[in-house]
Amino acid sequence: MRFITIVVIVVIFFGSLYHAFVAAPSTFPAPYHLTVTTGEGASAISHQLANDGAIRSRRTFQFLMEVLGSDTRISEGEYSFDHPISAVGIALRLSGKEFGITKTKVTFPEGYTNQDMATRLKAVFPEFDSAGFLKQASGLEGYLFPDTYGFFATPLPENIIADQQRNYEQKIAPLRADIAASGHSEANIIIMASIVQKEAEGTNDSSVIAGILWKRLQNGMPLQVDAVPSTYSHKGLPATPINNPGMVAIQAALHPEDSDYLYYLHDHNGNVHYASTYQQHQQNIKKYL
């Protein structure tokens, strides 16, 4: 009798585990579509999952997310479930730890504009809301950090923007003391960096060109850069960044190299040629262009 009791207890125990963690609930509304927005944690998501019949127990789901280390940070995006899946399966998917599922990587090169980013996203994710992205990114040119990002599903515009802004903050935070000491606002540093990103051919000439452009402003000269035609007729920096610069350009704008030069040009091979006077610059134009 005692043996039978133990067997019954063991069966009930493992049956409970299977019911709670392995078996999908009969109420699972397959196919099921779940949208996770920025900042939503396991508690909020568990409410939605339970209300939709996708999980049996909110407490079990939150426990699983806590075990996976994702109770406060869930991978944002849109998730589709073609067939009923267990609470464990949902937790693995939302925590980004599900085996066999890889993120789709999207790379935004340095100097990409918001429009460039929208076009790239639409090419990778045909159902992506590129118009919504551009609308929500309005006024954020320069602050959507160019990098490689990974997404498990078709991402929402606001989630991509949040990831890019979070990345920007992580990159800029260590530089804020230097920015404060530079005599320039963070906004002007980013504007200058976006111009340097477009004007410079690479790492080697970025800091020298940044130094030349800051010097022109200091001397009351117009910037006169091809990247921004209006700088030929108007003095000062443009009102906003012209693209989203990378760290090389940002560092160059923040730590420009001092030189005697006031002019520069790139020849057809991308080599830079500097000049201290306008006359020397005209000679370089004739020689190299």
What is the token pair recorded at 277? 């006077």
Percent of the chain, pLDDT > 90?
A: 60
8 Å CB contact between 79 and 106: no
Type of residue numbered 244: N
Is the pLDDT confidence value at 189 over 90?
Answer: yes
8 Å CB contact between 162 and 38: yes
pLDDT digits (tens, 9 = 90+) for 103-120: 789 999 999 999 999 999
Long-range Cβ pairs for the range 63-68 (8 Å, 24+): 64/21, 64/88, 64/91, 65/91, 65/94, 65/95, 66/42, 68/92, 68/95, 68/97
Alpha carbon distances (Å) from 25 to 7, 10, 47, 51, 280: 25, 22, 15, 12, 78
Residue 6 contacts by C-beta under 8 Å, 6 or more apart in sequence?
Answer: none
Superfamily of domain 19-95 in CATH is Endolytic murein transglycosylase (3.30.1490.480)
pLDDT digits (tens, 9 = 90+) for 214-243: 999 999 999 999 999 999 999 999 999 999
Delimit the domains of the chain by residue range: 19-95, 104-173, 183-288
pTM for the full model?
0.70
